[in-house]
A = this chain, B = another copy of it.
């Protein structure tokens, strides 16, 4: 059985002091806007909420420091200063809106077949292991090994929030939610619902089993969250239309409404899959209509892949305010297609976020998915011969953060640095130990451990921003988990790879 929830010590809920973070902050307040702020102070209260932001703080210029002086006089706080380290910067924690935790061991395997074969040959057999072990103990051990690893891995890559698929199994799904709390990652927990698996009958459940399992999970997770904080939440997860009966789809639509729970599923990933949906639901005009008919489309619905949508489907998705989870890495690995994301974002004005889609996707890092979504958009642009299909660094960073926040229904709580938002944040260091990023001194936006006067002489603000933008490119195209040196979730430090404290210049005030 899952651990008694009272024994769990949620990592993102312990007591913290008020803290001022000082340094370079980079985020995308809106789709078209990339904000690079040097010498910025962000204050985080003991609930983990940002309640103070001061840009261009310059301790040498006495005239412009009054708000901070005021602050300093009136509060006790910790002060963490990276302002003089040009290769360090804060970015919002990544939000992965589509990841199959249970498929984690299959990463890198199964290159040889398209979606429907890939499911039968690789995915269903592995997911079935979570239900079919010799004993409950061995099942839980099997699941715990995998689930711990995937949470640790994604957190180490800066993912502070993710929307997960587990398996059909309720016990190990509850265990997964407990592990999320223990490691300190915000998570949406999706027990996979599928009562009609024709091609791989071994791995399926009955309609009644699914109802029982969903109820068990909703109850368990309700009791799991600490007071006043929702860190883990169930998400209604019909796997995808072809493996669900109409009864189940209707039930899940109702369940979402009655419990006010978000929904996630797959849509229009592969052409054969679309044909199959047409055959199975001849009364529905298209794939999106199948979900729409069963009340599964709404502003808290995440639709993964959405590669081959018709104009009409895009219109429904926009009308219903659903979000798309774009999974470029997976779409290339199993040759599903190249989704026209730029069009979705700018023509249809649909919200798009990013998903690793482990293990269709072979990389559990959203930083890698940022890179891949740009590269995949280049392939699309080469095909359409339309430069406008290319995604920019801004677009990609937005989808990885604020686009993700909107997809999981937390647009006002995470995704950017704004007053009132939770401090779900990564500290990036391009010169971390063993970093794969190569930066030469002449490429830095300012000198290391400069005095502000020294620095002022050398580069204009615009030149500094240009250099910082180039470093962002370096981070995206050659960075990895090694550059994500600290991660905060809910204002709590949940990952710290800095081995020696002298690396930080802490000043206790």
- Cα distance A186–B146 in the bound complex, in angstroms: 42
Closest-by-CB residue of B relative to A441 is B145
Please determine whether A438 and B474 come into contact, CB atoms closer than 8 angstroms.
Answer: no
Chain A residues engaging chain B, CB cutoff 8 angstroms: 104-105, 107-111, 145-146, 149, 153, 332-333, 335, 337-338, 362-363, 374-376, 378-379, 381-383, 390, 393, 434, 436-438, 440, 443, 470, 473-478, 480-482
Given A108-B476, A111-B374, A362-B478: A379 in contact with B332 (beta carbons within 8 A): yes
Establish whether residues A338 and B382, one from each chain, have CB atoms under 8 Å apart when the complex forms: yes
Whole-angstrom CA separation of A34 from B63 in the bound complex: 70
Whether A335 pairs with B378 at a CB distance below 8 angstroms is yes
The reply to whether B440 and A145 form a contact with Cβ atoms under 8 Å apart is: yes
User: Cβ of B436 and Cβ of A434 under 8 Å apart?
Assistant: no
Cα separation A19 to B470 with both chains bound (whole Å)? 47
Which listed residue, B332, B379, B382, B434, touches A434 by the CB 8 Å rule? Answer: B434
Secondary structure at the A interface, as helix, strand, loop or mixed, is helix
A363, B438: Cα distance in complex, Å = 11
Alpha-carbon gap, A443 to B108, bound state (A): 12
CB <8 Å contact, A105 and B438 = yes
Q: Is the CB of A362 within 8 A of B149?
A: no
Which residues of chain B are within 8 angstroms of A374 by Cβ–Cβ distance? 111
Please, could you name 14 A-B residue pairs with CB atoms under 8 Å apart, sorted by A? A104-B438, A107-B474, A107-B477, A108-B474, A108-B477, A109-B473, A111-B374, A146-B440, A153-B438, A335-B382, A335-B390, A337-B382, A338-B382, A436-B480
Q: How far is the CA of A333 from the CA of B390 in the complex (A)?
A: 11
- Closest residue of chain B to A470 (Cβ to Cβ) is B109
Determine the chain B residues whose CB is within 8 A of the CB of A376 once the complex forms. 379
Taken together as a complex, chains A and B put the C-alpha atoms of A470 and B106 apart, in Å, by 9
User: Assuming A375-B333, A378-B333, A438-B153, is B393 touching A111 (CB within 8 A)?
Assistant: yes
Chain B residues lying within 8 Å of A111, measured Cβ to Cβ, are 374, 393, 473
CA distance A375 to B338 in the complex (A): 12
The minimal Cβ–Cβ distance linking A151 to chain B, given in whole angstroms, is 12
A491 → chain B, closest Cβ, in Å?
27
Which residue of B has the minimal Cβ distance to A438? B149
- How far does the alpha carbon of A59 sit from the alpha carbon of B109 in the complex, in Å? 33
